[in-house]
Amino acid sequence: MQFDKRMKVIIRCIGFLMLVTPPAVAQDSTQVRGHFESDSISIGKIIPYSLTARYPSNKQVFFPDSTFSFTPFEISKKKFFTTQTKGGLSYDSVVYFLTTFEIDSIQRLSLPIFVLQEKDCVKILSTPDSVILKYRVATMPDSVSVEKLPLKFNTAYQKVSWILNYPVVAAVIGILIVLLIVSWIIFGKRIRKYFIIRRLNKDYQEFIARFTMSLDKLSKGFTSRRAEDVLIIWKSYMEDLEKYPYTKFTSREIVRLVNDRQLESALRTIDRGIYGGFLSSVDSFQFLQSYSQQRFNKKEAEIKNG
């Protein structure tokens, strides 16, 4: 009974990692620091950001994962370091590799950690740190005014070999335009369906290839990181397929959206595997693949019959 109660608290903390919540007051015994490894950044370039926490060893803390919002930055990958404990204090650190595509000259970031309490989680923010955006083009070259352009004069007669028959060219272009319009009216819908279905199939095949490869790695050795990678691949494909923000939804929000009991059971099992380490098989992930195929077939049928 005590174990179930603790699991409920952990799951609630995981929900905090996936949603933006109001910051709580930091405890004196817990210290959180975050800083960039460089003072400047270029658009599209990766910059490391270190987040460290020093806290009583009898506490349990959670760091933001890849589903957390790092605005104005985007996460590329992360690297965890082994917890160090000494004198009743534990020390944890994570390095996030971030990129930005924003054009603000100064960009700031402050990340939280979440301390597990008896019935809830306490959110503790690090001190904000900032980087300066380096522009690749500092100044635009001055253009030459028309008055300063050098002019060359040539009054010699130039023989013209032929003259373009504009009326004929205009008639040909007009006929081609009419034919294109008529063809589009007659076959336009079929053409659009063809390219939409072709793109749909291509995306599905790419998803199956990536999903199968990640699932094979998970089958050879289960880790929370590998399980999370497989789940993200599935969420990204479903987001592209159904145009809902699956990557930003929690498992509970996804179930509420689709209202599917089997999917609910599979996602709950996967969450226990990722955040609790209880998953021993890949059956739940295989159901996600089967569910994606069903949604793909339904989408393809809708397009063909639409």
Question: What does the buried/exposed string (b/e) look like for 123-136 if buried means 16 or more CB atoms within 10 Å of the residue's CB?
Answer: bbebeebebeeeee
Structure tokens at 228: 């999370």
What number of helices (H) and strands (E) belong to the chain?
6, 11
Least confident of 34-38, 97-101, 117-121, 220-224: 117-121
CA nearest to 258, candidates 227, 283, 285, 292: 292
| pLDDT for position 11 | 47
Mean pLDDT, rounded, for 206-223: 90
Structure tokens at 285: 């992930």
Mean pLDDT, rounded, for 190-203: 90
CA nearest to 15, candidates 103, 123, 118: 123
Confidence band for 291, pLDDT divided at 50, 70 and 90 = very high
Does the pLDDT of residue 23 top 50, yes or no? no
Q: Where in the chain is the domain with CATH 2.60.40.10?
A: 2-133
Mean pLDDT, rounded, for 161-171: 83
Does the pLDDT of residue 38 top 70, yes or no? yes
Using DSSP, state whether 150 is helix, strand or coil.
coil
Mean pLDDT, rounded, for 14-22: 45
Contacts of 291 (CB under 8 A, 6+ apart): 260, 262, 263, 266
| pLDDT for position 143 | 56
What percentage of the chain reaches a pLDDT higher than 90? 35
Mean pLDDT, rounded, for 133-145: 63
Fold (topology level) of 2-133: Immunoglobulin-like (2.60.40)
Confidence band for 88, pLDDT divided at 50, 70 and 90 = confident
Mean pLDDT, rounded, for 45-56: 92
98 neighbors 35 (Cβ within 8 angstroms)? no
What is the arrangement of strands in the sheet containing 61-62, beginning at the earlier edge strand? 61-62, 112-116, 121-125
Distance (Å, whole) CA 182 – CA 46: 51
Q: What angle do CA 44, 108, 28 make, to 5 degrees?
A: 135
Using DSSP, state whether 93 is helix, strand or coil.
strand
Does the pLDDT of residue 276 top 80, yes or no? no
| pLDDT for position 123 | 87
Distance (Å, whole) CA 234 – CA 285: 9
pTM: 0.42
Mean pLDDT, rounded, for 230-252: 91
Contacts of 154 (CB under 8 A, 6+ apart): none
CA-based torsion, 219, 223, 225, 231: positive or negative: positive
Mean pLDDT, rounded, for 64-70: 88
246 neighbors 239 (Cβ within 8 angstroms)? yes
